[in-house]
Amino acid sequence: MTGSVVTNWLGIKDNDLVFTIGQPAKFKDAGVTRGFCSHCGSSLTYEATRFPEYIQVHIGTLDNPNTITPRAHVHFAEKVEWFDVNDRLPRFEGSAVGVGVDWKKF
């Protein structure tokens, strides 16, 4: 949980992620590991045993979030009613993991 009604993630191969300064503090529970900045507590990463080869990184924590192009909305069924989405990106009711999505097509 981030405490936010909206969050955005960059899913990358675990081996491709490099922290240049320190390592995140970890919180583990029920097959999920969340990484936090050990200095200020900002949420940094999300790892789940159901997709072990990937790590999700909060896009807002990247040095340059503008280099990321959004590809889809996930867990769209959980969206708060007052948040208006005005783009044409694909929308998944739940997770896009395990539903056969070829992300290279987006």
Size of site (CB under 5 A) for Zn ion? 4
Question: Applying CB under 5 A, does 39 fall inside the site for Zn ion?
Answer: yes
Question: Applying CB under 5 A, does 59 fall inside the site for Zn ion?
Answer: no
Compute the least distance from the CB of residue 30 to Zn ion, in Å. 25
Question: Quick count: other Cβ atoms within 10 Å of Cβ 7?
Answer: 15
54-58 and 9-13 as β-strands: parallel, antiparallel, unpaired?
antiparallel
Compute the least distance from the CB of residue 9 to Zn ion, in Å. 18
CA-CA-CA-CA torsion sign (77, 82, 86, 87):
negative
The residue ranges that bind Zn ion (CB under 5 A) are 37, 39-40, 42
